[in-house]
Amino acid sequence: MKPEIYEKSIDLASQKILKKAEEEGIETVWDRYEKQLPQCSFGQLGVCCRNCNMGPCRIDPFGEGAQKGICGATADIIVARNLLRTIAAGAAAHSDHARDAVLTFKKMSEGEAGSYRIKDEAKLLSLASEYGIPPEGKSPKEVASILADTLLQEFGKQDGHLLCTRRVPESRLKLWAELGIEPRGIDREIVECMHRTHIGVDNDAVHILLQGLRTGLSDGWGGSMIATDVQDILFGIPQPRRSTVNLGVLSKDKVNVIVHGHEPILSEMIVEAAEDPELLKLAEEKGAAGINVAGICCTGNETLMRHGTPIAGTFLQQELAVITGAVEAMVVDVQCVMPSLGELTGCYHTKFISTSPKADFPNTIRMEFHEGRAYETAKEIVRIAVENFPNRVPEKITIPEEKQECMVGFSAEAILSALGGSPDPLIEAIKGGDVWGIGAVVGCNNVKVTHNYGHVNLVKELIKNNVLVVTTGCNAIACAEAGLLLPEASELAGDGLKAVCKALGIPPVLHMGSCVDISRILVLSSALANYLGVDISDLPAAGAAPEWMSEKAVSIGAYVVSSGVFTVLGTIPAILGSQAVTSLLTEGLNSVVGASFAVEPDPLKAAKLMLEHIDAKRKALGLDSQR
């Protein structure tokens, strides 16, 4: 039975465009999901294997058929190997993003990327000091060049461990070392995952999963952290600012350029090119009132928090943006870009432009990005969009009126600044119970969940119970669309959190950036733990990914739990075919790394699990009081 439109999304703007898609006979991600039902139950349980050409093999979950693969692999081995490969793919995605950022940084320092410059010299010098690079007698670009070389070594490092891990509390670092999961070279961990999961290599589920934790840590405390740090140096540390979100940010009388994906290297230039007087004059000649750049997914989050560029939507809204009929150019880089956009843009006047040398899509205009001529490429892309403006078909245009103001850009530095330069006020608020704890809510959209339902309802329940929420990725966009990223949203919070938010002039939900910026949450957690003299696992804090769907999210889960943060997943990972793996991840890890996963699709029940965990941590710290 076809679901009603309101069952697909809680967002009114999305519902309107879904209705338009239905009327125009346009296929969306929801339609393709319905055609896949029922989905393969072996795949959902994680008990199918095609790692060699004797297979594919599958294990009968009811114990009546095959209980071993052809090579003898059990359900435990198959599930663990599949999970390890998923973590490897997710860590590779984040870390390859980081490598590209560092290579741009390196070329900038050598004068080969003239469009870029150092925008935050203080962060450059701070990071250089952390990596043991003395600045005396060196220009900022010389420091940057040495730092870039040092960071690049973190990817292929053969000896020692990742230097970013020195930011964690000493007790956590000691635990990782004892478990043998302290991350080494980023690429080494990913390659080792692939080696271990080849036929005839690692065949012990626990041993396999420990490598998964180490690989996740190489992402969170390696690749993602490096990406965030370098992007802050190149583009500036985000500071609180106001902007708008949702499909209503698209303009009826301006050229609409959407930047979508996860890497801000080119989108920074597109934002700049959209203000070029030559292109603005051309837009006027073409009948447009200006050029409007809007984002989708994490490329959008990056430009949002640094420039206030509006965001048109989350992962599940990328097709809907095109269906408005008002987008002149959909410009994509990598990750979370649906290949369906190629066929979809053919139904409208929209130009679909792909820019990454490593990512092509059907029916795109290929405009590869290279650092040496970044601004020139950005201008060419914006020019194509401007020249496409007269090709709009007025009767095909429907722009929803729904758009929402938001306050964004709460980097760890900005949060500390809002607190007066010290975590003291937050610590005191936690001790006194006004802030009951910290909730880190992150992750994608998943078509299996009513769009934004899990995100918004989980976060509302947390702030109602005085939990200060920090958020990144599509959860951050969903919260913005629901009006939760405004100081006025403190009216939905408990009395204690409301008072804190009003005193500081901040929302009860703090936007900390894109998916790689979960590393900012790690840094903030470490700062709080070090300040209190405890481990991260001792903090009254919990994490959640209510609508996760990507392999990156699995890597994120691995490093968040390995860092000591209890994490609730809202969609079910492909592990239930192995009782041993499921038990280890949801219970056994508590005695190993001091945290574990829980799976709870109902956001209100998920919030209850997080609150119970925070209650227990408060009690252990001697902060037990009535919630």
Condensed to tens digits (0 to 9), the pLDDT of residues 230-240 reads 999 999 999 99
**Of 235, 265, 285, which marks where a domain is finished?**
235
- Domain assignment present for residue 428? The answer is yes
Cα–Cα–Cα angle for 520, 563, 210, rounded to 5 degrees: 130
Same domain, 415 and 557: yes
* Confidence tier at 65 by pLDDT (50, 70, 90): confident
- Domain assignment present for residue 62? The answer is no
Paired strand residues for 440: 470, 543
Summarize pLDDT for 528-576 with one digit per residue, the tens.
Answer: 999 999 999 999 999 999 999 999 999 999 999 999 999 999 999 999 9
Summarize pLDDT for 500-535 with one digit per residue, the tens.
Answer: 999 999 999 999 999 999 999 999 999 999 999 999
Same domain, 263 and 166: no
Same domain, 417 and 337: no
Same domain, 134 and 202: yes
Whether residue 406 is annotated as binding a ligand: the answer is no
Q: Identify the pLDDT of residue 420.
A: 86
**Of 339, 367, 396, which marks where a domain is finished?**
396
Give dist(CA 334, CA 439) in Å, integer.
28
Give dist(CA 131, CA 167) in Å, integer.
12
Question: Domain limits at 603?
Answer: 410-620
Whether residue 49 is annotated as binding a ligand: the answer is yes
Edge-to-edge strand ranges of the sheet holding 437-441: 509-511, 467-471, 437-441, 541-545, 567-569, 597-599
Q: What is the CATH number of the domain that holds 454?
A: 3.40.50.2030
Same domain, 392 and 418: no
Same domain, 265 and 351: yes
DSSP assignment of 50-103, as one string? -SSTT--EE--TTSSS--S-TT---HHHHHHHHHHHHHHHHHHHHHHHHHHHHH
What proportion of the chain, given as a percentage, has pLDDT over 90? 96
Whether residue 501 is annotated as binding a ligand: the answer is no
pTM of the complete model: 0.96
Same domain, 443 and 576: yes
- Domain assignment present for residue 53? The answer is no
Summarize pLDDT for 189-212 with one digit per residue, the tens.
Answer: 999 999 999 999 999 999 999 999
**Of 235, 259, 280, which marks where a domain is finished?**
235
Same domain, 448 and 597: yes
| pLDDT above 90: residue 338 | yes
Whether residue 57 is annotated as binding a ligand: the answer is yes
Whether residue 260 is annotated as binding a ligand: the answer is no
Same domain, 504 and 533: yes
Give dist(CA 90, CA 556) in Å, integer.
8
Whether residue 336 is annotated as binding a ligand: the answer is yes
Count of domains observed in the chain: 3
- Domain assignment present for residue 219? The answer is yes
* Confidence tier at 1 by pLDDT (50, 70, 90): low
Same domain, 387 and 447: no
Same domain, 570 and 614: yes
Same domain, 283 and 374: yes
Whether residue 298 is annotated as binding a ligand: the answer is yes
